[in-house]
Structure 1
Amino acid sequence: MSSPSRRVPIEPQSVDAPLTDSAVFLVLTVADTAEAYAAVKNALGSVSDVQKNVAFRDLGASLSCTVAVGSRVWDAVTGLPRPAELHEFRPVRGAVHTAVATPGDILLHIRSDRRDLCFELERQLLGAFGDAVAVADETVGFRYFDVRDLLGFVDGTANPVGQALPEATLVGEEDPDAAGGTYVVVQKYVHPLAAWNALTTEQQEAIMGRTKADNIELDDAVDGQKSHKTLATIVDDAGEHDILRDNMPFGAPGSGEFGTYFIGYARHLWVIERMLERMFIGEPPGIHDRLLDFSTPLTGSVFFAPSASLLDSLADD
């Protein structure tokens, strides 16, 4: 009797790459031609090789690039089975604030402890995509002090660690064709820092749900106005549903721009969508996240990052 065939191990992309000093968030749109789709598919299949060539300049600089594809071009560009939850970003309209949807077909999340390596990898990858794409948004992020946002609070405290990390981010047996991949949501927020800094520290802490100096969680509100920490935590009968955030500050004091680039990786897209509903619509409805009074979203896009194994296979086609 012949032995059963072995399944080739699925290698995920480096969504769990360590926090770095620099990052580039590059959102691209793809031209609607067969030639452009073919060129993008070829470029996607070459990303890992390009990354290795650039990373070799400094192997200790933690250079990585996570690549994700949007719903609009998934079928035409990848030819892969469609992830079960993949769709375009759905705007979330609250009574006061709206999470907007903006164009985005390809996401490149480039990270390194060296800004020059991020620059060089972005330059080479854009050269590989060529005229098949246009840049919809390019944001350069930086690590601010002890992993704080420009509002002065530590960011990413609730990220899963250890075995909880892949369980929260990587699709599993519930969608075998997409196994090893992850859903990605990005939003670019800007902050009116003068208005935020006019608040007392106690007012800021009540909005965030944590102390500012030492990042200690404050008690959740039983009813009425809830903190950002509470609204962004999704709990149901199955327990708490984590996501991985690798947010980074961006800005230019000379032009008065101060912001946070939100990027969330999740095994289930609905978890991030539920977070946004709780923030923008409120829980209960009508009592929105007060952080939004000081954080305006300029962009909103959804992507799916296939496993590294599937991404590399695009070059073979």
Structure 2
Amino acid sequence: MSSQRVPIEPQRVDAPLTQCATFLVVSVTNKPDAIETVQSTLSGLESLAKNVSIRDLGAQFACTVGIGSEIWDKLTGLPRPAELHPFREIKGAKHTAISTPGDLLFHIRSERRDICFEFERQLMDQLGDSVAVIDETVGFRYFDVRDLLGFVDGTANPVGPAVPSSVLVAEEDGHASGGSYIVVQKYTHDLPGWKDLSTEQQEKIIGRTKIDNVELDDAESGQRSHKTLSTIEDENGKEHGILRDNMPFGSPGSGEFGTYFIGYTRRLWVIEKMLENMFVGDPPGLHDRLLDFSRPLTGTTFFAPSASLLAGLGSD
């Protein structure tokens, strides 16, 4: 009798951008039963999601789970994804992409804030004292998918058939097949300083027009735009995309304005090269001028395994 291979079901890393999102980063505590509790919670995540999403099936609810490098071995007992390692600090002459801790990431999305809230409430009830919250950021969609700097965000995202080939690990790493690397950074903006620039100066930094989002020509030499520095090609000249699900966050009352960067990728080196270009510069010394107005508060790397792997956690 021939055996049939069980298909690998990815997590919903390509879920549509919604009106609301919660980015929850936690660490696993040293409680005696913490690992078992986390394994049980993650393996039952699909049931928890159904329990919440049934309240409004049109709200496009989704939750993606990322597992950090430091907890991977203990939590899964499975071979490590080939590129999984802690976020590497990138120090430029003027700005630094800092590295911060995090064992688990929950990227919670919905058209409704209350759906995100209720899922997170039930999730934290199940996890209990097995985890400690490191960061919780609530994001929102801002007009026509703009960031708080006023520019459209995510224009370069892959679409259609290009999404899986850009985001999901395939035959190059069989144990990690169907999974995706995730990098998160929480940036706060110097909005008053940014507003002091003319629209033309802002556009030159970003590499696109502000009103209609038209791509500007690349600089042939010298200072490059954010758009150019974040476009990555390999040694053969092939461009490698990532999927961004960035969201604005903030509070005008407290003067906080920011962007939560979250990038999904099949190849972690692509995002790492992107950040190196931004913080060190390409050529070195000419950093991304956007960083003069946007400061990273966090930097953490995760791997989102397949839904099939999550469902099997803790089973013998």
**TM-score, scaled to structure 1:** 0.98
Aligned partner of 1:67 in structure 2 is 65
TM-superposed CA distance for 1:316, in Å, is 3.7
TM-superposed CA distance for 1:62, in Å, is 0.3
Q: Gaps (5+ residues) in structure 2?
A: none
User: How do residues 157-176 of structure 1 correspond to structure 2 at under 5 angstroms?
Assistant: 157-176=155-174
Superposition RMSD in Å: 0.9
User: How do residues 193-272 of structure 1 correspond to structure 2 at under 5 angstroms?
Assistant: 193-236=191-234, 237-272=236-271
Provide the rounded CA distance (Å) in 2 between the counterparts of 1:299 and 1:97.
Answer: 13
Aligned partner of 2:308 in structure 1 is 309
AA of the residue aligned to 1:292: L
Is the 8 Å Cα contact of residues 22 and 137 (structure 2) preserved in structure 1?
A: yes
TM-superposed CA distance for 1:201, in Å, is 0.2
User: How do residues 37-48 of structure 1 correspond to structure 2 at under 5 angstroms?
Assistant: 37-48=35-46
Q: 1:155 aligns with which of 153, 156, 162?
A: 153
User: How do residues 181-200 of structure 1 correspond to structure 2 at under 5 angstroms?
Assistant: 181-200=179-198
AA of the residue aligned to 2:5: R
Is the 8 Å Cα contact of residues 169 and 267 (structure 1) preserved in structure 2?
A: yes
Provide the rounded CA distance (Å) in 2 between the counterparts of 1:265 and 1:85.
Answer: 13
Aligned partner of 1:92 in structure 2 is 90
Aligned partner of 2:296 in structure 1 is 297
Is the 8 Å Cα contact of residues 46 and 315 (structure 1) preserved in structure 2?
A: no
Provide the rounded CA distance (Å) in 2 between the counterparts of 1:252 and 1:154.
Answer: 20
Aligned partner of 2:279 in structure 1 is 280
Query: Alignment length, in residue pairs?
Result: 315
Q: Segments of 4+ in structure 1 off by > 2 A?
A: none
| 2:313 alignment partner, SS class | helix
TM-superposed CA distance for 1:80, in Å, is 1.9
Q: Deviations over 1:122-167 (max 9, x none)?
A: 1111111110100000000000000000000000000001111000
1:83 aligns with 2:87: no
Provide the rounded CA distance (Å) in 2 between the counterparts of 1:279 and 1:35.
Answer: 42
Q: Deviations over 1:154-206 (max 9, x none)?
A: 00000001111000000000000100000000000000100000100000000
Structure 1 window deviating more from structure 2 (163-172 vs 33-42): it is: 33-42
**Does the C-alpha gap of structure 1 residues 169 and 300 become closer, same or farther in structure 2, counting only changes over 3 Å?**
same
AA of the residue aligned to 1:160: P
Q: 2:110 aligns with which of 98, 109, 112?
A: 112
**TM-score, scaled to structure 2:** 0.98
AA of the residue aligned to 1:262: F
